Chain A
Amino acid sequence: MKVLCGIGGSDDSFRALDRTVERAAVASDDLTIAVVDNEDSSVSPDEVVERAEAAVEEAAIDAEVRRVEGDPGSRLVDIAETEGFEEIVLGGGHTSPMGKITIGSIAEFVLLNAKTSVTLVR
């Protein structure tokens, strides 16, 4: 399957990265990892790219790591549509001190606007 994994440096996005890379290794997915701007993230995009490349290398899979600038939600939806992706994978949300899950604005936009299936990784 042709999979687009969008990550911006939040904890849940790294969980999504690890899980998607793991799955790609066994399912032979055609995986692209898009490193997007997430203003809520404390990790710089360059560091996120490095972590993504390290994960891909460790899993010994052939996946592209791409830096995507601009509005993250609309860029992901646009890339998925124009390049024929079948699925978008994102982090599954932030957990509050109480244990409540809140879905970030990127995931919310993608969920409502994508034509592909969207997977939120918990």
Chain B
Amino acid sequence: MSDRGYPDAVADEFPPPPTAFTDREDRRIEVRPYEGDPAARESLVEMYDAFDPADRAQGIPPGGEERIREWLDAILADDCYNVIAWCDDAAAGHATLVPDGDAYELAIFVHQEYQRAGIGTHLIRGLLGHGQANGVEKVWLTVERWNRAAVSLYKKIGFETSDAESFELEMGLRLRADGETAAEGDASATPDESDADE
């Protein structure tokens, strides 16, 4: 891909998971990293199999169990970073960082049943905290420009638009200064209430 733009300023420290909170529907939600557990993978298959096609973005998640499994094989690989929002044993949301050269591409999905409850904000902060703790420097994403809820979530997190000339907006975030090594940060989690679930 072509050179992508990132903000000069380094983003805040995000809280590394596991984190837990009560969502706006009074459900207890835990955000935990995915670490190769087959049962967690099956929960994701279930979540995506029940995903409303209207909430697909640029072709993902794909439709049908077989394609979902193929896609998950790629994004749950060892060189990717994944976090899952759990409501008891059910996956309510999932966010992922997939390597792309010296940066990572981000995507986040919250199941319909759990949208507009503030889970997306906690989930993306958890993912970025997980990435930061593992030395991820730069993150980019694309988002359909009409998806205002998602765009405002990303902006609130600190993403800046790097390319606005296509159907999709491209946005970038700098998690660490170039070459900075993983250091202890005083992660101050400010749980903010947003309607901006993707």
Binding site for B on A (CB under 8 A): 40, 94-103, 105, 108
Chain B residues whose CB sits within 8 angstroms of the CB of A102 once the complex forms:
58, 142, 166-168
In the assembled complex, how far is the CB of residue B24 from the closest CB belonging to chain A, in whole angstroms? 28
Q: How far is the CB of B151 from chain A (nearest CB, A)?
A: 15
Asked if B166 and A98 sit within 8 Å, CB to CB, the answer is no
Q: Check: B132 CB closer than 8 A to any chain A CB.
A: no
Q: Which residue of B lies closest to A99 (CB)?
A: B60
- 6 A-B pairs with least C-beta separation: A100-B58, A101-B59, A97-B100, A98-B105, A97-B98, A99-B60
Q: Judge whether B57 is part of the interface by a CB distance below 8 angstroms.
A: yes
Cα distance, A99 to B98, chains bound together (Å): 10
Output the least CB separation between A108 and chain B (Å).
6
- Say how far A73's CB is from chain B's closest CB, in angstroms: 13
Given the known A-B contacts A98-B75, A98-B107, are A105 and B100 also in contact in the complex, defined by CB atoms under 8 Å?
no
Q: Are A99 and B100 in contact (CB under 8 A)?
A: no
Complex partner residue of B166 from A40, A95, A100, A105, CB under 8 angstroms: A105
B2 is contacted by which of A40, A96, A97, A98 (Cβ under 8 Å)?
A40
* A40-B2, A96-B142 known; A103-B167 Cβ under 8 A: yes
Within the complex, what minimum Cβ distance (angstroms) separates B166 from chain A? 6
Chain A residues contacting B98 (CB-CB under 8 Å) are: 97-98
Q: Is the CB of B105 within 8 A of A96?
A: yes
Q: For B71, give its contact among A96, A99, A108 (CB under 8 Å).
A: A99
Which residues of chain A come closer than 8 Å to B149, judged between CB atoms?
none
Q: Given contact pairs A97-B105, A98-B60, A99-B71, enumerate 13 new A-B contacts (beta carbons under 8 Å).
A: A94-B1, A95-B59, A96-B142, A97-B99, A98-B98, A98-B107, A99-B74, A100-B58, A100-B142, A101-B58, A102-B168, A103-B166, A108-B166
Which residue of chain B is the closest to A111 with respect to CB atoms? B167
User: For residue A101, which residue of chain B has the nearest CB?
Assistant: B59
Note all chain A residues with C-beta closer than 8 A to B75. Answer: 98-99
Q: Jot down 22 A-B pairs with beta carbons below 8 A, ordered by A.
A: A40-B2, A94-B1, A95-B59, A96-B100, A97-B100, A97-B105, A98-B75, A98-B98, A98-B106, A99-B60, A99-B74, A100-B57, A100-B58, A101-B59, A102-B58, A102-B167, A102-B168, A103-B166, A103-B167, A105-B165, A105-B166, A108-B166
Of residues 97 to 112 in B, which have CB atoms within 8 Å of A's CB atoms? Answer: 98-100, 105-107
